[in-house]
A and B are shown apart, each in its own frame.
Chain A
Amino acid sequence: MTLNRREFLAALSAAAAAGVGVVAAPGAFAQSPTTTATSPYKRLLILVELKGANDGLNTFVPYADPAYYALRPTLGIKRDQVLQLNDKFGLHPALDLLMPMWAKGELAAVTGLGYPQPNLSHFRSIEIWDTASNANDYLAEGWLARAFATVAPPKSFVADGIAVGGGDLGPLANGSRALSIASTEAFVRQAKLADPHGRASNKALQHILRLEGEAQSAALNIDPKVTLKTEFPTHAFGQQVKTAMQVVAASPGVAALRVGLGSFDTHQGQPGTQQTLLKQLAEGINAIRQASLELGRWQDTAIVTYCEFGRRAKENQSNGTDHGTANTQFVIGGGVKGGLYGSHPSLTQLSGDGNLLFTTDYRALYSTLLTQWWGFSGAQSEKVLAGKYAPLSLFS
Chain B
Amino acid sequence: MSTRRQNTTLIATLGWLLICIVALLLAASVATAQTARDDSPMGFDDARHLLNRTSFAAQTADIENYARLTRAEAVDRLLAETRRHAAYPAPAWTAKYERVYRPDMTQEQRMQANRRELIERGLEIRTWWVAEMLSTPTPLTEKMTLFWHNHFATSQQKVRSAQLMYRQNVLLRSYALGNFGALLREISKDPAMLVYLDGAQNRKGAPNENFARELMELFTLGEGQYNEADIKEVARAFTGWSLEPETGEFRFRRGIHDDGEKTVFGARGRLNGDDIVTLLLRQPGTGEFIVGKLWQEFVSPELSPAAVKRLAALWRDSNYEIKPLMRAMLLSDDFWSPANRASLVKSPVDLVIGSLRQFRFSVEDPAPFAIILRQLGQDLFGPPNVKGWPGGEAWLNTTTLLARKGFLNRLFRADEMLKPTLAAGDDMAGKQDMVAQPAAALIDRDMMGERRQRAQTRLAVRGGAADRLPPFGVSNQLRGQYFFNADEWFRQMRAAMQGGRGGDDDKIVRTLLAGPPVQAPREVPHTLAGLRTVALDPMYQLK
- Name A residues whose Cβ lies closer than 8 Å to a Cβ of B: 1, 3, 11-12, 14-16, 18-20, 51-52, 120-124, 163, 166-169, 179-183, 185-187, 189-191, 193-195, 197-205, 207-209, 211-212, 214-215, 218, 234-236, 239, 263, 265, 267-268, 316-318, 320, 322-323, 353
Interface segment, one of B29-37, B447-455, B469-477: B447-455
CB distance from B237 to the nearest CB of A (A): 17
B106 within 8 A of A: no
- Of all chain B residues, which has the CB nearest A186? B446
CB distance from A13 to the nearest CB of B (A): 10
Which of A187, A318, A320 has most chain B Cβ within 10 Å? A318
- Of all chain A residues, which has the CB nearest B7? A11
Residues of A within 8 A of B403 (CB): 182, 186, 190
Provide the bound-state CA to CA distance between A317 and B231, in Å: 17
- The total number of A-B Cβ pairs within 8 Å is 187
- Of all chain A residues, which has the CB nearest B376? A166
Provide the bound-state CA to CA distance between A182 and B205, in Å: 45
- In the complex, the answer to whether B203 meets A199 with C-beta atoms within 8 Å is no
Known interface pairs A120-B228, A317-B203; A187-B301 also in contact (CB < 8 Å)? no
CB distance from B536 to the nearest CB of A (A): 6
A121's partner among B10, B203, B223, B399 (CB-CB below 8 A) is B223
Residues of B within 8 A of A52 (CB): 385
- In the complex, the answer to whether B398 meets A180 with C-beta atoms within 8 Å is yes
B52 within 8 A of A: no
- In the complex, the answer to whether A19 meets B19 with C-beta atoms within 8 Å is yes
9 pairs, CB–CB < 8 Å, chain A vs chain B = A19-B19, A191-B402, A198-B519, A204-B301, A204-B342, A207-B345, A212-B401, A235-B451, A268-B201
CB distance from B448 to the nearest CB of A (A): 9
Ordered nearest first, which 3 A-B pairs have the shortest CB separation?
A: A317-B206, A236-B450, A318-B201
B401's partner among A3, A208, A239 (CB-CB below 8 A) is A208
- In the complex, the answer to whether B405 meets A190 with C-beta atoms within 8 Å is yes
- In the complex, the answer to whether A20 meets B22 with C-beta atoms within 8 Å is yes
- In the complex, the answer to whether A190 meets B402 with C-beta atoms within 8 Å is yes
B344 within 8 A of A: yes
B344's partner among A204, A214, A316 (CB-CB below 8 A) is A204
- In the complex, the answer to whether A183 meets B446 with C-beta atoms within 8 Å is yes
B402's partner among A20, A203, A215 (CB-CB below 8 A) is A215
Provide the bound-state CA to CA distance between A197 and B539, in Å: 12
Known interface pairs A15-B11, A198-B519; A203-B385 also in contact (CB < 8 Å)? no
A120's partner among B213, B386, B393, B519 (CB-CB below 8 A) is B213
Residues of A within 8 A of B541 (CB): 204, 208
B406's partner among A15, A190, A236, A239 (CB-CB below 8 A) is A190
Provide the bound-state CA to CA distance between A3 and B377, in Å: 43
CB distance from B205 to the nearest CB of A (A): 8
- In the complex, the answer to whether A236 meets B449 with C-beta atoms within 8 Å is yes
Residues of A within 8 A of B232 (CB): 353
Residues of A within 8 A of B342 (CB): 201-202, 204-205
Residues of A within 8 A of B409 (CB): 193
Provide the bound-state CA to CA distance between A15 and B342, in Å: 22
- In the complex, the answer to whether B206 meets A20 with C-beta atoms within 8 Å is no
Provide the bound-state CA to CA distance between A322 and B209, in Å: 7
- In the complex, the answer to whether B542 meets A182 with C-beta atoms within 8 Å is no
- Name B residues whose Cβ lies closer than 8 Å to a Cβ of A: 6-7, 10-12, 14-19, 22, 158, 197-198, 201-203, 205-210, 213, 217, 223-224, 228, 231-232, 301, 342-345, 377, 384-387, 390, 393-394, 396-403, 405-406, 409, 444, 446-447, 449-451, 515-516, 518-519, 536, 538-539, 541-542
Known interface pairs A12-B18, A122-B385, A198-B538; A204-B397 also in contact (CB < 8 Å)? no
Provide the bound-state CA to CA distance between A186 and B519, in Å: 24
Known interface pairs A204-B542, A205-B518, A322-B208; A235-B450 also in contact (CB < 8 Å)? yes
Known interface pairs A166-B399, A181-B399; A186-B18 also in contact (CB < 8 Å)? no
Provide the bound-state CA to CA distance between A371 and B207, in Å: 44
- In the complex, the answer to whether A204 meets B393 with C-beta atoms within 8 Å is yes
Provide the bound-state CA to CA distance between A207 and B387, in Å: 23
Residues of A within 8 A of B209 (CB): 267, 322-323
- In the complex, the answer to whether B16 meets A19 with C-beta atoms within 8 Å is yes
- Of all chain A residues, which has the CB nearest B17? A15
- In the complex, the answer to whether A121 meets B213 with C-beta atoms within 8 Å is yes
Residues of A within 8 A of B208 (CB): 267-268, 316-318, 320, 322
- In the complex, the answer to whether A203 meets B516 with C-beta atoms within 8 Å is no
Other A-B pairs beyond A202-B343, A204-B343, 17, CB < 8 Å? A15-B14, A18-B11, A20-B18, A169-B397, A183-B446, A186-B446, A187-B398, A195-B536, A198-B538, A200-B518, A204-B301, A207-B345, A235-B451, A236-B450, A316-B207, A318-B202, A320-B198
Provide the bound-state CA to CA distance between A218 and B402, in Å: 12
Residues of B within 8 A of A212 (CB): 401, 538
Residues of A within 8 A of B377 (CB): 166
- In the complex, the answer to whether B394 meets A189 with C-beta atoms within 8 Å is no
- In the complex, the answer to whether B399 meets A187 with C-beta atoms within 8 Å is yes
- In the complex, the answer to whether A183 meets B343 with C-beta atoms within 8 Å is no
- In the complex, the answer to whether B398 meets A218 with C-beta atoms within 8 Å is yes
- In the complex, the answer to whether B18 meets A15 with C-beta atoms within 8 Å is yes
- In the complex, the answer to whether A211 meets B18 with C-beta atoms within 8 Å is no
CB distance from A384 to the nearest CB of B (A): 23
- In the complex, the answer to whether A168 meets B516 with C-beta atoms within 8 Å is no
- In the complex, the answer to whether A193 meets B402 with C-beta atoms within 8 Å is yes
- In the complex, the answer to whether B397 meets A163 with C-beta atoms within 8 Å is yes
Known interface pairs A166-B400, A186-B402, A193-B402; A201-B516 also in contact (CB < 8 Å)? yes
Residues of B within 8 A of A202 (CB): 342-343
Residues of A within 8 A of B384 (CB): 167
Residues of B within 8 A of A15 (CB): 11-12, 14-15, 17-18
- In the complex, the answer to whether A323 meets B198 with C-beta atoms within 8 Å is no
- In the complex, the answer to whether B447 meets A20 with C-beta atoms within 8 Å is no
Which of B396, B398, B541 has most chain A Cβ within 10 Å? B398
CB distance from B255 to the nearest CB of A (A): 15
Provide the bound-state CA to CA distance between A328 and B343, in Å: 43
Known interface pairs A205-B518, A267-B201; A353-B228 also in contact (CB < 8 Å)? yes
- In the complex, the answer to whether B11 meets A194 with C-beta atoms within 8 Å is no
Residues of A within 8 A of B344 (CB): 204
Provide the bound-state CA to CA distance between A191 and B326, in Å: 39
CB distance from B25 to the nearest CB of A (A): 10
B397's partner among A122, A180, A191, A236 (CB-CB below 8 A) is A180
Residues of A within 8 A of B6 (CB): 1
Which of B209, B396, B538 has most chain A Cβ within 10 Å? B538
A209's partner among B197, B402, B449, B538 (CB-CB below 8 A) is B538
Which of B17, B197, B449 has most chain A Cβ within 10 Å? B449
Provide the bound-state CA to CA distance between A218 and B201, in Å: 48
Residues of A within 8 A of B201 (CB): 267-268, 316-318, 320
B451's partner among A194, A234, A316 (CB-CB below 8 A) is A234
Residues of A within 8 A of B406 (CB): 186, 189-190, 193
Known interface pairs A124-B223, A263-B385, A267-B201; A211-B217 also in contact (CB < 8 Å)? no
CB distance from B103 to the nearest CB of A (A): 18
Residues of B within 8 A of A353 (CB): 228, 232
B387's partner among A1, A123, A195, A214 (CB-CB below 8 A) is A123
Known interface pairs A186-B444, A205-B542; A215-B14 also in contact (CB < 8 Å)? no
- In the complex, the answer to whether B394 meets A215 with C-beta atoms within 8 Å is no
Residues of A within 8 A of B228 (CB): 120, 353
Provide the bound-state CA to CA distance between A201 and B339, in Å: 10
CB distance from A193 to the nearest CB of B (A): 4
Provide the bound-state CA to CA distance between A124 and B387, in Å: 11
- Of all chain B residues, which has the CB nearest A119? B223
- In the complex, the answer to whether B390 meets A168 with C-beta atoms within 8 Å is yes
Residues of B within 8 A of A195 (CB): 519, 536
Residues of B within 8 A of A201 (CB): 342, 515-516
Residues of A within 8 A of B205 (CB): 317
Known interface pairs A194-B402, A201-B515, A205-B539; A166-B213 also in contact (CB < 8 Å)? no
Residues of B within 8 A of A197 (CB): 519
A211's partner among B12, B213, B224, B396 (CB-CB below 8 A) is B396
